[in-house]
Amino acid sequence: MEIIMAFVCGFLFMAAIYLILSRSLLRIIIGTGLLSHGAHLLILTMGSFKGSAPPVLSDGVTDYVDPIPQALILTAIVISFGVTAFFLVLAYRAYQELQTDDMTLMKGSEDHE
């Protein structure tokens, strides 16, 4: 299963990078969403799927899955949510001010047209 999941994560990353390299701001943010999904799944996969019970103590069970990756992912989910929310509002404000969401038009330097 881990082998297949490695390919799935790779696929998610590929799609995310493809979106991040696009011109529309919204697509870029969607890309970051996919990227964080890929990263979370990758952490889970790397922690291995061994064990048959969720990491909550219950009588007679000893075969718990590894709880550490789960704790890490939980933290990561919250942080990526915070960042995504910020990005979305940033994109919204940028569109309001600049009247464009085309990344090729948003250039910092005036030297290069």
Partner 1 sequence: MFLVLCMFIPLIAALFMPFFFKKIRSIHTGWFVLIAPLFLVIFYASYVPIISKGETIIAQFDWIPSLGISFVSYLDGLSLLFSLLISGIGALVVLYSIYYLDRTKEQLHNFYIYLLMFMSAMLGVVQSDNMITLYLFWELTSISSFLLIGYWYNRDKSRFGALKSTLITVGGGMMMLGGFVLLSIMGETFSIRELIEIAPELATHDTFIFALILILLGAFTKSAQFPFYIWLPDAMEAPTPVSAYLHSATMVKAGIYLVARFTPIFALSEVWIWLVAGIGLLTLFWGSFFAVKQTDLKGILAFSTVSQLGLIMSLLGVGAIAYHVDGAQDTIFKYAAFAAIFHLINHATFKGSLFMIAGIVDHETGTRDIRKLGGLMSIMPVSFTVALIGSFSMAGLPPFNGFLSKEMFLTAMLSVKEFDFYNFSTWGILFPVIAWIASVFTFIYSFYFVFKTFTGKYKPEELPTKPHEAPIGMLISPVILASLVVTIFFIPNVIADTFIKPAVVAIQPFLYTNPDQVDIHISAWHGFQPELWMTIGIIVIGFLLFLVLSKWQKMYEASPPKLTLNNLYDFIVYEFSDKWMRNFSGLYMTGSIRGYLAYMFSGIAFIVIGTLFIKDGFKVTFVGASPIRISQLLLILVLVIGTITTVFAKSRMTSIIALGAVGYTVSLFFVMFNAPDLALTQLVIETISVALFLLAFYHLPKFQKVEERTRFRFGRAFVSIAVGVMVTLVALSAHSQKYIESIAKYYKETVYSLAGGGNIVNVILVDYRGFDTLFEITVLAIAGMAIYAMIKLRLSKKGGKL
Size of the site for partner 1 (CB under 8 A): 90
Q: Contacts with partner 1 in 38-67 (CB under 8 A)? A: 38, 40-42, 44-58, 64-67
**According to the binding rule CB under 8 A, does residue 98 interact with partner 1?**
no
Q: Contacts with partner 1 in 4-33 (CB under 8 A)? A: 4-27, 29-30, 33
Residue 53's beta-bridge partner residues? Answer: 64
9 CB-contact burial (10 Å; exposed 0-12 / middle 13-18 / buried 19+):
buried
**According to the binding rule CB under 8 A, does residue 75 interact with partner 1?**
yes
- Report in angstroms how near the CB of residue 60 gets to partner 1 at its nearest: 14
- Report in angstroms how near the CB of residue 32 gets to partner 1 at its nearest: 10
Buried b / exposed e across 55-66, counting CB within 10 Å, b at 16+? eeeeeeeeeebe
Please, what sign has the CA dihedral across residues 38, 44, 47, 49? negative
- Report in angstroms how near the CB of residue 39 gets to partner 1 at its nearest: 9
- Report in angstroms how near the CB of residue 43 gets to partner 1 at its nearest: 10
Question: What's the gap between Cα 66 and its chain centre?
Answer: 21
User: Closer CB to partner 1, residue 60 or residue 104?
Assistant: 104
HSE of 85, CA atoms in CB hemisphere, 13 A: 6
